Amino acid sequence: MNKYGLHGKLQATAGKGAYLAQILLEASKLVSTAIGCRLYLVSQDSSNPDAVWVTEVWDSKEDHDNSLQVPGVRELISQAMPLLAGRPEKGQELEVLGGTGLEVELAHIS
Amino acid sequence: MNKYGLHGKLQATAGKGAYLAQILLEASKLVSTAIGCRLYLVSQDSSNPDAVWVTEVWDSKEDHDNSLQVPGVRELISQAMPLLAGRPEKGQELEVLGGTGLEVELAHIS
């Protein structure tokens, strides 16, 4: 069964990228407790330091959507929103077929 | 110390996406043995089934570049090249700050 992947950018206003990244790193601790969360990475784009990228893998889209219920996540989102330079773009949705490196073993498609 | 992230697309010719994905899943097994390989995920874009996405995290860019020396990797690359619809685009390079889900514990930036 493929997993649900999401790769998206959050553009902070000038000089706020590091602060936004901090908030998202806090969020990664919270969502790590959510059902079906297999990966939540926070990265910066060296060519655009106020852009923060989040790369996620979930057992399902539903699990991802439900993670908003995790206590503390909505508060972090409300902290992050004022730092954004505009509406967050919808991330790239991917079907994760397999690979290596996740804590959970990914069944390769046969 | 941030890790080196790479997220890139390989566009296969019509109908060859699944075959290309298979080769890259094989590659993920090989590179998992390479020094500094922390993540190598193979995904498909549901809106473009002949596009295969590879999402990687390495301890360093150097480790990533050295992975070409892993026995069998060059052979897989030579299998994949004829399936491509053009020169592979350079992937998005990212500085992975931290997060959750990798087998290796990611130190969060303080």
Count of domains for chain B = 1
Asked, for residue A109, whether it belongs to a domain, the answer is no
Identify whether the C-beta of residue A100 lies closer than 8 Å to the C-beta of residue B37. yes
* Mean pLDDT for chain A overall: 91
Band (A109; pLDDT cuts 50, 70, 90): very low
Asked, for residue B20, whether it belongs to a domain, the answer is yes
Long-range pairs for B72-81: beta carbons < 8 A, 24 or more residues apart: B72/B30, B73/B27, B73/B30, B73/B31, B76/B23, B76/B24, B76/B26, B76/B27, B76/B30, B77/B27, B79/B23, B80/B10, B80/B20, B80/B23, B80/B24, B80/B27
Asked, for residue A104, whether it belongs to a domain, the answer is no
Per-residue confidence (pLDDT) for residue B27, from 0 to 100: 95
Asked, for residue A19, whether it belongs to a domain, the answer is yes
Asked, for residue B86, whether it belongs to a domain, the answer is yes
Radius of gyration of chain A (CA): 14
Q: Do A25 and B93 touch (CB under 8 A)?
A: no
Q: Give the minimum alpha-carbon distance from B76 to chain A in angstroms, rounded to a whole number.
A: 15
A97 has a chain B CB within 8 A of its CB = yes
pLDDT string in tens for chain B (110-residue length): 799 999 999 999 999 999 999 999 999 999 999 999 999 999 998 889 899 999 999 999 999 999 999 999 999 999 999 999 988 888 899 999 999 988 766 654 43
Please report, for the domain that includes residue B33, its CATH number. 3.30.70.100
Q: Do B5 and A43 touch (CB under 8 A)?
A: yes
Range of the domain at B39: 3-96
The verdict on ipTM greater than 0.85 is yes
Q: Do B7 and A7 touch (CB under 8 A)?
A: yes
Listed residue (A49, A66, A61) closest to A94, CA to CA = A61
Asked, for residue B104, whether it belongs to a domain, the answer is no
Crossing angle of helices A73-80 and A17-31, rounded to 10°: 170
Asked, for residue B39, whether it belongs to a domain, the answer is yes
Chain A residues touching B94 at Cβ < 8 A: 43-46, 53
User: What angle (nearest 5°) sits at the alpha carbon of residue A89, between those of residues B9 and A72?
Assistant: 110
Asked, for residue A106, whether it belongs to a domain, the answer is no
B37 has a chain A CB within 8 A of its CB = yes
Identify whether the C-beta of residue B49 lies closer than 8 Å to the C-beta of residue A94. no
B5 has a chain A CB within 8 A of its CB = yes
